Amino acid sequence: MSIFLFILLNNIAPIFLIIYLGYILSKKFNLDIASLSKLNFYIFVPALSLVKIYQTDIDTNLLKVLLYAVVFLGVLMTVATIIARFRGYSTSMKNAFKNSIMFYNSGNFALPLVTLVFADTQYAAYAVSIQIMVLLVQTLTTNTLGFYNAGRGQMHYKETIKKVFRMPPAYAVMLGIMLKWIPYDFTQSFLWPAINYMKNGLVPVALLTLGVQLSLTKFNFRNIEVYLTSLVRLIGGPVLAYLLILFLRIDGVMAQVLLISSSVPSAVNTALIAVEFDNEPDFASQVVLTTTVLSLFTLTGVIFISKYIF
């Protein structure tokens, strides 16, 4: 029950409060979704990407987590592609579907959740380190492959690649990697506080942007594709993660963290990317909302199962 209440009060409630504020403000003031999207992808997302990559120390003991995260992403992409083909989706819908399955809320949702689950154990710091490795892979791929997928829904692949490399997040990722090799602590630079301020702005502004997008969304509560996507993300994700964990012979705390992490909702960024590329934004926004609500029930089950089987 404590886990259930924690998820409700510390993850679901704050997220929905900020989304609701964005929804109300948009209805009252007719906020410009395109401008908010630009703020996210030209300021806040690059700042977060740079900080996360620069400050993440990759322990050699955690390289197996990186391997898992990359392979898991590939498995999700393959499964999503097969389902999309079977369902006969258009190119734009197929790529929006893939993004919603592949990219999940590994940062502001999974990280505090993992922190709570292992808070009173000797493995607390280790569990957080594992989740940060997953977050690193998700950040890198969301801001490259995620853009590419969304762009392919509307553009030729050559134009999509050009647009991806016109987006600042790709360069923030590369800059973060380059700075790690320079023997200077850039957190002491006079620019670092400004970058941190921008990084901290991503979550509230992204959620407000989602609220604005939802105010413009024509909801279809009978849209079977939204529920199918939610099912694959929240149930299929953990099942595939479990099989991969067994295949890679991961056990103990690492296995528990990876299984829990695999079952969180679709990332808010998938909706923001859909808006930026005009790639099924209504569908992507509804999926984020639906998976976030339903995860309240599915996550508690996954957490219990993870402790039981590992």
Is the per-residue pLDDT at 177 higher than 90? Answer: no
Q: What is the mean pLDDT of the chain?
A: 90
* Arithmetic mean of pLDDT, 15-41: 91
Region of 111 (left: φ > 0; alpha: ψ -120 to 50; beta: rest) is alpha
* Arithmetic mean of pLDDT, 59-76: 92
- Looking at residue 252, the DSSP 8-state letter turns out to be H
Is the per-residue pLDDT at 44 higher than 80? Answer: yes
Percent of the chain with pLDDT over 70: 99
Is the per-residue pLDDT at 158 higher than 80? Answer: no
Is the per-residue pLDDT at 100 higher than 70? Answer: yes
> Do the beta carbons of residue 116 and residue 163 sit within 8 Å?
no
**For the segment 178-237, what is each residue's pLDDT rounded down to a tens digit?**
998 999 999 999 999 999 999 999 989 999 999 999 998 888 878 999 999 999 999 999
Is the per-residue pLDDT at 67 higher than 70? Answer: yes
Closest residue by Cα to residue 40 from 169, 153, 147: 169
| Exposure of 269 in the CB half-sphere (CA atoms within 13 A) | 30
Q: What is the pLDDT of residue 184?
A: 92
Residue boundaries of the structural domains of the chain: 2-309
Distance CA 227, CA 224 (A): 5
**For the segment 130-144, what is each residue's pLDDT rounded down to a tens digit?**
998 899 899 889 988
Q: What is the pLDDT of residue 160?
A: 74
Distance CA 263, CA 238 (A): 5
Q: What is the pLDDT of residue 10?
A: 77
Q: What is the pLDDT of residue 236?
A: 97
Confidence of residue 1 (pLDDT cuts 50, 70, 90): low
> Do the beta carbons of residue 254 and residue 309 sit within 8 Å?
no
Sequence-distant (6+) residues with CB within 8 A of 57 are none
* Arithmetic mean of pLDDT, 144-157: 80
Distance CA 4, CA 135 (A): 23
Percent of the chain with pLDDT over 90: 56
Q: What is the pLDDT of residue 58?
A: 75
Query: Hey, how many other C-beta atoms are within 10 angstroms of the C-beta on 184?
Result: 8
Within the chain, strands assigned E span none
Question: What b-and-e string marks burial along 227-266, b requiring 16 or more CB atoms within 10 Å of the CB?
Answer: eebbebbbebbbebbbebbeebebeebbbbbbbbbbbbbb
What is 2-309's CATH topology? Answer: Na+/H+ antiporter like fold (1.20.1530)
* pTM of the predicted structure, to 2 decimals: 0.87
* Arithmetic mean of pLDDT, 62-77: 95
* Arithmetic mean of pLDDT, 78-104: 96
* Arithmetic mean of pLDDT, 265-285: 92
Report how far apart the first and last C-alpha atoms of the chain are (Å, whole number): 20
* Arithmetic mean of pLDDT, 90-95: 94
**For the segment 294-307, what is each residue's pLDDT rounded down to a tens digit?**
998 898 889 989 98
